[in-house]
């Protein structure tokens, strides 16, 4: 294995670095994404407009995410909205 080309080792290192960068960037982009149960502070299975204030992005888009306009977000509304927002 002494004849193993060094260039391949460097390529492997660069690939690894690229992967790490991608993983780090992905981690950062997910940082603000709270799960439904995190935002549903009182655990009643609905997110009120007040509870949505904990998530600044969600708070701004609350009216858009509230598809049936009942003033609260169900889990499915939240999931669909969160996917559309991010
Ligand atoms: Ca709630
Ligand atoms: Ca709703």
5-39 pLDDT per residue, tens: 677 788 888 888 888 877 776 554 554 567 899 99
Degrees, nearest 5: CA angle 7-10-14: 140
Whether the model clears a pTM of 0.85, i.e. scores above it, the answer is no
For residue 33, the CA-to-ligand 2 centroid distance in Å is 19
Q: Sketch the domain layout of the chain as residue ranges.
A: 30-86
pLDDT score at 28: 47
Quick one: average pLDDT of 49-58? 93
User: Nearest bound ligand to CA 67?
Assistant: 2
Q: What's the half-sphere exposure (Cβ side, CA atoms, 13 Å) at 23?
A: 6
For residue 29, the CA-to-ligand 2 centroid distance in Å is 26
Topology given in CATH for the domain delimited by 30-86: Recoverin; domain 1 (1.10.238)
For residue 62, the CA-to-ligand 2 centroid distance in Å is 9
Which residues lie at CB < 5 A from ion ligand 1? 40, 42, 44, 46
């Amino acid at each position: 294995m002494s004849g193993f080309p060094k260039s391949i080792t460097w390529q492997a290192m660069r690939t690894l670095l690229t992967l790490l960068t991608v993983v780090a960037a992905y981690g950062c982009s997910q940082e603000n994404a709270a799960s439904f149960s995190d935002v549903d502070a009182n655990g009643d299975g609905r997110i009120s407009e007040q509870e949505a204030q904990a998530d600044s992005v969600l708070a701004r888009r609350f009216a858009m995410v509230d598809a049936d306009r009942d003033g609260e977000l169900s889990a499915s509304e939240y999931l669909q909205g969160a996917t559309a927002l991010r």
